[in-house]
Structure 1
Amino acid sequence: MGPLTAACAAYASLAAWLWLTFAQGMFWRTDVRLPPRTAPTHWPSVAIVVPARDEAEVLPRSLPSLLAQDYPGEAAIVLVDDGSTDGTGELALRLAREHPGLPLTVTSPGEPPAGWTGKLWALRHGIALARGAQPTQPDHLSQAHPHPHLHLHPRPDYLLLTDADIAHEPDSLRELVAAATSADLDLVSQMARLRVAGLWERLVVPAFVYFFAQLYPFRRINRPGGRTAAAAGGCVLLRTEAAVRAGVPDSIRQAVIDDVSLARAVRRSGGRIWLGLAERVDSVRPYPALTDLWRMVSRSAYAQLRHQPLLLAGTVAGLVLVYLVPPSALLAGLATGHPAVAWAGGLAWLLMSGTYAPMLRYYRLPIALAPLLPFTALLYLLMTVDSAVQHYRGRGAAWKGRTYARPSDA
């Protein structure tokens, strides 16, 4: 690469970072938390729907937190056992007996039909069951604590859609509902704090949230009438009327990136949505090895690009320009005696590290990890390319024994 080319790349990267830092919805700020809220005069009813497939490893750390919710209104849990082979359903019933609290129903809808992803099929079944309907014949239907109504009569006012690996503090549901009613929101979602115990989790996980916020700046999502829409699938409080109006989950039944598709459907139907970082909602799922994180990212990365080769090429080029050029330009400029190249690359790297630091602080990690973001971005670049390779090999989005060869996001 000649000096002129290197200088152009360095200045282009610096310009990109100036724009990202000051014109991309302040995506790097981590102070977007639940909006101001007051307790409603009447607490609405809530059905908590938990899709679960082979979750016996994490369920003992997550389900008791739902059973223990301190909620002043009527609430019940429906855990949808999505064809588990590890005894997830039986374990859930045992945990409910050991941790008395909210009433729990465990059901199974059977295998999803063609055109449905497993999670959305499970959500469809759980939502319909909570509302008093029965769309499919379940394999089994069990209740840990007999309750006068299997569903909330006449139907729940809100649905809390939460993954089986998400642990909630006792006041989580109360705070979510208070936020929704105070701000008249149809969808309130919190991005759970993911686990960062191991080396690879510390390198990859905070960057995952950082990149997500860069694509979907929370402030733009939360702006009334805004066009940007996204949610975090691990914790979504959804007004039942809004779900009916948006036709979800049926209208997004093929979506691999179901949380973003859900938020888009609600916003398109006129609903008000909100997304922020959680303080007291945590994921307990471990990703101890790089291969675990690799599968987590690569299974949906190409779906995010709508399976378009041109978008893939643009993404790869963008990742190189934005994340890999700054340290390369700094080192090359210093080595070849071109201070302008080194200056531009160094300043871009400084902006990158500076905008990443708040996310590291949110995850209670040392800020000294911030300059390593280019290495992490390289990993994400390789994961994205691998996602495309797997797609064209016919493996598509593979997760827990199921493969969706050509999914589409609504």
Structure 2
Amino acid sequence: MSAIAWIAVGSLTAWGWLLLGQGFFWRTDQRLPGRGGRARAEYESLRRPKELGQDDLARQWPSVAVVVPARDEAAVLPESLPSLLAQVYPGEAEIFLVDDGSSDGTGALARELSARYGGLPLTVSSPGEPEPGWTGKLWAVRHGIALARSSARVPDFLLLTDADIAHEPDSLRELVVAAESHDLDLVSQMARLRVASVWEKLVVPAFVYFFAQLYPFRWINRPGGRTAAAAGGCVLLRTETAVRARVPDSFHQAVIDDVSLAKAVRRGGGRIWLGLAERVDSVRPYPGLADLWRMVSRSAYAQLRHSPLLLVGTVAGLAVIYLAPPAALCAGVFGGDLPAGLLGFAAWAVMTGTYIPILRYYRLSLWQAPVLPLTASLYLLMTVDSAVQHYRGRGAAWKGRTYSRPEAAPDR
């Protein structure tokens, strides 16, 4: 057989492993546990004795502090913050929005929205510039957690949610029910990202697909498993677990803070869960390729621990797994290499089949599935660009801040 046919053999073998041996990462059935099921009914019946009044009922439910780090988020806050203010939760809950040095009036807008919509009580505060060695977001999260713990009643749970995330009115309630009824220390949902523009439709579903490939949700949700990850846009965390895991001090320089958080909780013996959201959405637009490029490239090389060897391996792996199948098929069709063409077609077919579930989740056309190699080539270029920017001293740049050598997800 030709060299390209042998490469196609390697690609098909890799896809056989990814299909069956990588935690069924391509499936989209990991959804919030207990929602609408027996666990929820049993839990809520225990929390709602008939003789209790409304105030007593509130004390029966765990208290929650919602911590929202925000830096220059005035454009998205009118869509996201009202959804938090409007949460229908039987227990005590309050919101702490931490204005991380915004220059667009984020803090003032948050107060205005709270006055206009009412709902859960809101505290807006600013911690000042982060200390050396801290990323801005984690510095803001640290400040928000400290505010929550200094309140009259230390909250039982912390909901860490980004400023661009909109929640359905029962989102907080469902998260708490899932954590309590399944004895979980961390419950995280990957918010449904926006897919309105052409570039969003091409790039965003693949972002979730690749994340699940790196961190299969089934492996994460398995009790006693070693794989750990979370989605930073929506994380419900027990306060005592956060204290025990030293959140976020133990990973204060991490750019990929959600994975770092999950690792810290798992190292401390906590039980974690991650799945796809049904009622939690990101409202942040990424209308152009440049916007999506910055989102991916700012942390891609950090994910590889700034290792040139891992970068080379990743580029080679992406090329063999995603780019070789269409190349082999073309060699078969246009070059008369029948073995390469058949092997390339088979690998591409498996690849396409694994991409269909995430397209269905995003309610996109299934005809987009065969285009995954093109999307993968964009991610390959974004990863290389991330390394280039790192060595130019512009790595992990975000909203006016640059972290020259941030950590990805420290092991200790």
Length-normalised TM-score, structure 1:
0.94
What's the CA shift for 1:334?
1.6
2:275 corresponding residue in structure 1: 276
2:117 and 2:235 mapped to 1: Cα distance?
24
What's the CA shift for 1:7?
1.1
2:188 and 2:403 mapped to 1: Cα distance?
26
Aligned: 1:91 with 2:109: yes
2:53 corresponding residue in structure 1: none
1:307 and 1:50 mapped to 2: Cα distance?
29
1:233 and 1:220 mapped to 2: Cα distance?
18
1:200 and 1:339 mapped to 2: Cα distance?
35
1:265 and 1:381 mapped to 2: Cα distance?
29
Length-normalised TM-score, structure 2:
0.94
> Secondary structure at the residue paired with 1:78?
strand
1:55 corresponding residue in structure 2: 73
Aligned: 1:120 with 2:119: no
Superposed, 1:94-243 pairs within 5 Å as 94-132=112-150, 151=151, 153-243=152-242
From 25, 29, 32, the equivalent of 2:30 is 32
CA-to-aligned-CA distance 1:65-106 (integer Å, 9 cap, x gap): 000000000000000000000000000000001101000000
What's the CA shift for 1:131?
0.5
1:406 and 1:178 mapped to 2: Cα distance?
39
2:304 and 2:241 mapped to 1: Cα distance?
27
Aligned: 1:390 with 2:397: no
Aligned: 1:407 with 2:406: yes
How many pairs were matched up? 389
The runs of at least 4 aligned residues of structure 1 exceeding 6 Å deviation read none
2:54 corresponding residue in structure 1: none
2:307 and 2:384 mapped to 1: Cα distance?
12
CA-to-aligned-CA distance 1:3-29 (integer Å, 9 cap, x gap): 521111000000000100011000000
Structure 2, gaps ≥5 residues long: 48-59
2:52 corresponding residue in structure 1: none
2:18 corresponding residue in structure 1: 20
Q: Which amino acid aligns with 2:265?
A: V
1:102 and 1:353 mapped to 2: Cα distance?
45
What's the CA shift for 1:337?
1.5
> Secondary structure at the residue paired with 1:301?
helix
> Secondary structure at the residue paired with 2:397?
strand
What's the CA shift for 1:396?
1.4
Q: Which amino acid aligns with 2:30?
A: V
> Secondary structure at the residue paired with 1:237?
strand
1:365 corresponding residue in structure 2: 364
1:336 and 1:69 mapped to 2: Cα distance?
61
> Secondary structure at the residue paired with 1:49?
strand
1:143 corresponding residue in structure 2: none
From 1, 8, 11, the equivalent of 1:10 is 8
CA contact (8 A) 2:27 2:357 kept: yes
What's the CA shift for 1:157?
0.3
CA contact (8 A) 2:87 2:172 kept: yes
1:144 corresponding residue in structure 2: none
What's the CA shift for 1:339?
1.6
1:154 and 1:268 mapped to 2: Cα distance?
28
Aligned: 1:323 with 2:322: yes
2:300 corresponding residue in structure 1: 301
2:89 corresponding residue in structure 1: 71
> Secondary structure at the residue paired with 1:398?
coil
Q: Which amino acid aligns with 1:86?
A: D
> Secondary structure at the residue paired with 2:73?
coil
CA contact (8 A) 2:254 2:406 kept: yes
Structure 1, gaps ≥5 residues long: 133-150
CA-to-aligned-CA distance 1:317-355 (integer Å, 9 cap, x gap): 000000000001011112122221111100100111100
CA contact (8 A) 2:297 2:386 kept: yes
Q: Which amino acid aligns with 1:325?
A: A
2:325 and 2:61 mapped to 1: Cα distance?
52
CA-to-aligned-CA distance 1:31-79 (integer Å, 9 cap, x gap): 1101124134231000000000000000000000000000000000000
CA-to-aligned-CA distance 1:148-177 (integer Å, 9 cap, x gap): xxx2x3310000000000000000000000
1:290 and 1:371 mapped to 2: Cα distance?
20
CA contact (8 A) 2:2 2:340 kept: no
2:394 and 2:253 mapped to 1: Cα distance?
16
2:309 and 2:245 mapped to 1: Cα distance?
31
> Secondary structure at the residue paired with 2:132?
coil
State the identity as a percent. 75
> Secondary structure at the residue paired with 1:76?
strand
CA-to-aligned-CA distance 1:351-370 (integer Å, 9 cap, x gap): 11100000000000000000
> Secondary structure at the residue paired with 1:397?
coil
Q: Which amino acid aligns with 2:8?
A: A
1:25 and 1:192 mapped to 2: Cα distance?
21
2:253 and 2:17 mapped to 1: Cα distance?
34
